[in-house]
Amino acid sequence: MKMRSKRTCFLAALLAGAVLLSPLSAWAGSCCGGGLATSLILPKFYSSMVDVSVDVEKYNGYWDHQGIHRADPAGSDLQQYRLNMGYGQRFSPRWQASVVAPYVWNSNVYSGLSSRTDGLGDMSMSLWYEALDDLSAWKVRSIKDMTPSVLIGTSLLIPTGISPYDEVNNSFDVTGRGFYRLDGNVLVSKTIHPWSATLSLAYGTYLERTVNREYGNYVEPYHKQLGDRTIALFSLSYIMYFGTGGDTITGIASISQLREADATINGVRDSSSGFKKDTVSGTIVYSSTDHDWIVRMMWNHAIMFDGWGENFPSTDIYTLGVSYGFR
Amino acid sequence: MDSAKMRLLLLMLLLIAGCGGMMDDIVPSDKDKRPAITCGITGPDVCQNAPDFTLSDTLGNIVSLSSVVSTPGVSGTVIYFTMWCPICDMHMSNMRASVLPNYPAVRFLIVDYVSGSVAMARNEELSNGYSGSGFTVLADTSQAVLDSFHATMGTTIVVDSAGVVRFNEDYKDGARLRSVLSALP
């Protein structure tokens, strides 16, 4: 029974981690840079974890301000590559923290221009509290078996990337947004073997900053604050056991919505700045028998039709990640 | 976390914080660091004489800045640099809706610096819905104009009828652009 409980907690955390490690969105390498950091969640019985992943994000047009999907310029090939390095540490049975740092390569090829730049992206530090444990079973026998795991967390995005407000030559150099952001996160996950469902909600607010330089040119200083950001993600998973040792493969399908409100400049709303994006994802996660090694492959796809985004690039993101947990 | 791990984490953070230019975002400055500008010489900065250029528009017409600004009845010229990205589209849509109709004596030039030919620039103008918009789209196929104005995506420049730069900033909500255009003689 204890073994099953451990496995269940592990799977719940694994699914939660797979969800949160999904790169929900990034600003376009084609125009705005924006290497992103996500979060890392440790399985229940691990003291620490190291995670390394590689994202390949390919740009396939954008939605304009009316939600009409438009193609990128003919002859263009716009991609961003990210190497994400994460470390998570457990402080107590219910508290854990993590840090994720991306390194970003922008590759922009147009019919009349090409550019390749790289640099550190924006880092993220997170703190999580495991409020409820999922005590799910293979069969629901009582209401207690319906208890989900609930994680409550906060994340701080740190502007370690190259932003438009740094000493840059042009927009191709950008790998970060240049603002601190504080997020509140809630993650609810429930496993009834072999199925699992996860709902993740995040609300973030950027901290106001002063700007005295744009793309390398000093300007009259002003105050700027990006708009509040909300992310909602729902995923459904199916866990398969194979072999005699307990290796698992988990298939995850998810849908996410990202919204960012308009920025303000000196307290006045900039109506040309907000955006939204909806995506779907498919993820395959392999976990070794002892669960120390986790390998995941993910495909995040923007629905490239009118109305599935506004004022934002549409992309496909391919991710390959490996985690190792220390007990 | 044991002390060794804590020290390693702090060391990593210090190394990262020391990376070039990052402190500009970690601790943003509110200092006005604009350099002193020499007015009256050719350059992209406010009060300087705008570098002249000659480009083809997307219909094959040859357009030079000097001829545009000196056209009788033209009080000023707006030059916007685009790479046909979502932010560029948002800026151009905003300008099209809230600026362009209110300044009939101002010419609006859009400089496409990513398309490698006039035909491709025309294709982008059409596919992004800017045909007949009131903008004149120019093909800067060698990025010579981009370089001469030290511009990038979203750079917006206003040149008055004397050929002097009156505004050179990243486009925002159009408010400052409108105020500069309203002040043109």
| Ranges of each domain in chain A | 2-326
pLDDT at A36 over 50: no
By C-alpha distance, the chain B residue nearest A208 is: B28
Reported CATH class of domain A2-326? mainly beta
Higher pLDDT: B104 or A140? It is B104
Contacts of residue A74, Cβ cutoff 8 Å, sequence gap at least 6: A111, B115, B120, B123, B124
Higher pLDDT: A21 or B11? It is B11
Contact A30 B173 (CB under 8 A): no
Q: Over the stretch A109-133, which tens digit does the pLDDT of each residue have?
A: 888 888 898 999 999 999 999 998 8
Q: How far is A194 from chain B (nearest CA, A)?
A: 35
Chain B positions in Cβ-Cβ contact with residue A215 (cut-off 8 Å): 152, 155, 170
pLDDT at A141 over 90: no
For B79-146, give the DSSP string. EEEE-S-HHHHHHHHHHHHHTGGG-TTEEEEEEE-S-SSHHHHHHHHHHTT-TTSS-EEEE-TT-HHH
- Which residue of A272, A277, A304, A312 is the best one to mutate when testing the B interface, meaning the one whose CB has the most B CBs within 10 A? A272
By C-alpha distance, the chain B residue nearest A214 is: B170
Least confident of A39-48, A245-254, B136-145: A39-48
pLDDT value of residue B155: 94
Contact A31 B86 (CB under 8 A): yes
Selecting from B19, B115, B154 the residue whose C-beta is nearest the C-beta of A111 gives B115
For residue A156, count other CB atoms closer than 10 A to its CB.
16
Higher pLDDT: A143 or A156? It is A156
pLDDT value of residue B19: 54
pLDDT value of residue A281: 92
Report pTM: 0.85
Chain A positions in Cβ-Cβ contact with residue B125 (cut-off 8 Å): none
Contact A268 B93 (CB under 8 A): no
Give the residue from A155, A157, A133, A154 showing the smallest Cα distance to A144.
Answer: A133
pLDDT value of residue A137: 66
Q: Which fold has domain B54-183?
A: Glutaredoxin (3.40.30)
Contact B154 A171 (CB under 8 A): yes
Higher pLDDT: A271 or B159? It is B159
CB A40 within 8 A of CB A151: no
Chain B, window 96-115: residues with a beta carbon less than 8 angstroms from a chain A beta carbon? 113-115
pLDDT value of residue A30: 39
For residue A20, count other CB atoms closer than 10 A to its CB.
25
What is the Cα–Cα distance from A122 to B49, expressed in whole angstroms? 39
Selecting from B91, B120, B155 the residue whose C-beta is nearest the C-beta of A111 gives B120
Contact A111 B116 (CB under 8 A): yes
pLDDT at A5 over 70: no
pLDDT at A139 over 80: no
Higher pLDDT: A24 or A275? It is A275
pLDDT value of residue A238: 92
pLDDT value of residue B9: 60
Q: Where are the domains of chain B?
A: 54-183
Higher pLDDT: A1 or A8? It is A8
Selecting from B1, B32, B88 the residue whose C-beta is nearest the C-beta of A220 gives B32
Q: How far is A274 from chain B (nearest CA, A)?
A: 10
pLDDT value of residue B173: 85
Q: How far is B161 from chain A (nearest CA, A)?
A: 24
Selecting from B21, B90, B116 the residue whose C-beta is nearest the C-beta of A272 gives B90
- Which residue of B90, B95, B113, B180 is the best one to mutate when testing the A interface, meaning the one whose CB has the most A CBs within 10 A? B90
- Per-residue pLDDT, averaged over A63-80, amounts to 90
Angle, CA B9 vertex, CA B4 and CA B13 arms, to 5°: 150
- Ranges of residues in chain B whose predicted pLDDT is under 50: none
pLDDT value of residue A106: 92
Contact B87 A311 (CB under 8 A): yes
Chain B, window 35-94: residues with a beta carbon less than 8 angstroms from a chain A beta carbon? 35, 83-91, 93-94
Mean pLDDT of chain A: 85
pLDDT value of residue A1: 38
pLDDT at A73 over 90: no
ipTM over 0.95: no
